[in-house]
């Protein structure tokens, strides 16, 4: 139950970044090491070093800044296209890792070996 609560906290933080301001903020490097837990086990998203601010009415931005490979959406890595969907992809990887208790790269390697 605690893992679920943490992932809901992260989802709430992302929702705030996208809808809490006039212009959405895309984190661009969401991964477990950028989620901090306080003494009450409440999750806080951190490290906005490569975050992007989408202009009003903009839904996609292009960049040459790269994030962590195993959490990066394909369109971000291949084309440099940044959108809120990129964070959602990273969040999905985190959810998968959280509830399977396996790292994303370990699951990819298991598919290659089989």
Count of CB atoms situated within 10 Å of the CB of 89 = 18
> Catalytic: 29?
yes
Residue 7: the pLDDT is: 96
Of 57, 58, 92, 101, the closest CA to residue 74 belongs to: 92
Task: Name all domains of the chain by residue range, CATH numbers in brackets.
Answer: 2-113 (1.10.510.10)
Of 76, 77, 92, the closest CA to residue 10 belongs to: 92
This prediction's pTM: 0.82
The residue from 9, 29, 47, 87 that is catalytic is: 29
Residue 49, SS3 per DSSP: coil
Count of CB atoms situated within 10 Å of the CB of 36 = 11
18 confidence band (pLDDT: 50, 70, 90): very high
Mean pLDDT, range 82-102, rounded to an integer: 91
Mean pLDDT, range 87-114, rounded to an integer: 75
């Amino acid at each position: 139950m605690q893992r679920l609560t943490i992932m809901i906290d992260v989802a709430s933080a992302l929702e705030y970044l996208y809808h809490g301001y006039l212009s959405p903020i895309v984190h661009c490097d969401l991964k477990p090491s950028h989620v901090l837990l306080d003494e009450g086990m409440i999750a806080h998203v951190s490290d906005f070093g490569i975050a992007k601010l989408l202009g009003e009415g903009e839904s996609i931005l292009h960049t040459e800044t790269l994030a962590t490979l195993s959490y990066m959406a394909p369109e971000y890595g291949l084309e440099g296209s940044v959108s809120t969907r990129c964070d959602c992809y990273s969040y999905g990887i985190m959810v998968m890792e959280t509830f399977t208790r396996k790292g994303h790269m370990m699951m990819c390697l298991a598919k290659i070996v089989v």
